[in-house]
Amino acid sequence: MDTAVFAPASPSAPHWADWLLGDAPEQRLWLTRLLRVGALFLALDLARALGVVFGLVTLEDMAPLLAYDVVVLAAGIALIRSGWSAKFEDPALTMPLVALGLLGIALAYVRVDLGRGALLPLAAVVLVHGMHRLTPRQTLVSAGALLVVLSMAAAMMALLSLQGLNLAQEAVDLGVAALGLPALAAVASRAHAVLQTHARQRTELRQTLARLETLTTKDALTGLANHRHMLHLLDVEILRHSRQGRQFSIALLDLDHFERINQELGRARADEVLRQVGHLSTAHLRASDVMGRWGGEEFMVLMPETDLAGGARSLERLKEKLYTKLGFYREGRWVPVNCSAGVTRYRTGETIHQMLERAEQALRTAKANGRNQVVSS
């Protein structure tokens, strides 16, 4: 009895579509649209090639059209796929490709009789595919220019008495196409309006999501991380510690005698002091450190990859910066605002609550010992 042998599957090569279209969603969309229209041009070229086989078209007439279509399609794909077109306002190169497509249609109209009836519908397809990036004016001007060129070409061929041209039929076809221009303008205008509406809605949605994210992660007064977000960051840091052994420290910082500031200067001035704390602290902390408003006049500083001694030094520097920069004028005299802080390091296996309790105890000790100091625990 024969035994089937199955070879192990080899790593699959990248799918040809991924290789051709790339990974960026917008780039894939632009190239897909280009390939759709290009496929129609190549299908018409294939019909002309069959015409050469059956003696309906000469190779001299067909070959330049095929070469033109292949070069334009290949160039469009290469410029978009390589990212070269990204430096332009329209990375999809819509207007140049539409113009080249309509030029190819005009050349085919003059050069080959076979398939001439399919050229106007093909032009409509080109314009429809361009509507997603062109303005209504650009669409209408492109269509009008093509009709003018084709009309002039038909008149010239009639004057030269070229064979294969039914002038009456061409006049009817071009006239019907001209009558369709107002409809094309209306459709283009409507399509442009819909696309503009969708673009505006996407922008508004992104802005709304950004505002919601800010509301859920930022303190409205100071712009610092809020209490909830700081808890989330602590969870993340503890998980990183459990996986990688990375130590970290936290500090609770409280403004000394803030109630007196609130009573003497009023809510607005007191709020301004809190905003200054956020601004000054962010400017003087490390890029990896995160400061958040823990509640009232109390703040938390999260210091990744920092031991207890390093955390204490960092808070001492911050306290000195706040002392020299933070304050208010009372009766023409500068009154600095002092702060106290409690620093602790995360210990393996403990909970967030245990770590916070230790930091709060260190802060209470700093307050009890006379304020304006940093205590480690």
Residues designated as active site: 297
- Provide the Cα torsion 244, 245, 246, 249; round to 10°: 140
Residue 103, C-beta contacts closer than 8 angstroms, at least 6 positions apart: none
In eight-state DSSP terms, residue 262 is: H
| Separation in Å, CA 277 to CA 74, 202, 252, 326, 341 | 59, 36, 13, 7, 14
Report the distance separating Cα 332 and Cα 325, nearest Å: 16
Contact 149, 105 (CB under 8 A): no
Contact 93, 72 (CB under 8 A): no
Contact 248, 303 (CB under 8 A): yes
Residue 204, C-beta contacts closer than 8 angstroms, at least 6 positions apart: none
In eight-state DSSP terms, residue 85 is: G
Report the distance separating Cα 261 and Cα 257, nearest Å: 7
SS3 assignment, position 278: helix
Amino acid at residue number 69: D
Report the distance separating Cα 146 and Cα 140, nearest Å: 10
Give helix 119-130 / helix 167-179 axis angle, nearest 10°.
20
Contact 255, 275 (CB under 8 A): no
Amino acid at residue number 309: A
Beta strand pairing status for 333-336 and 327-330? antiparallel
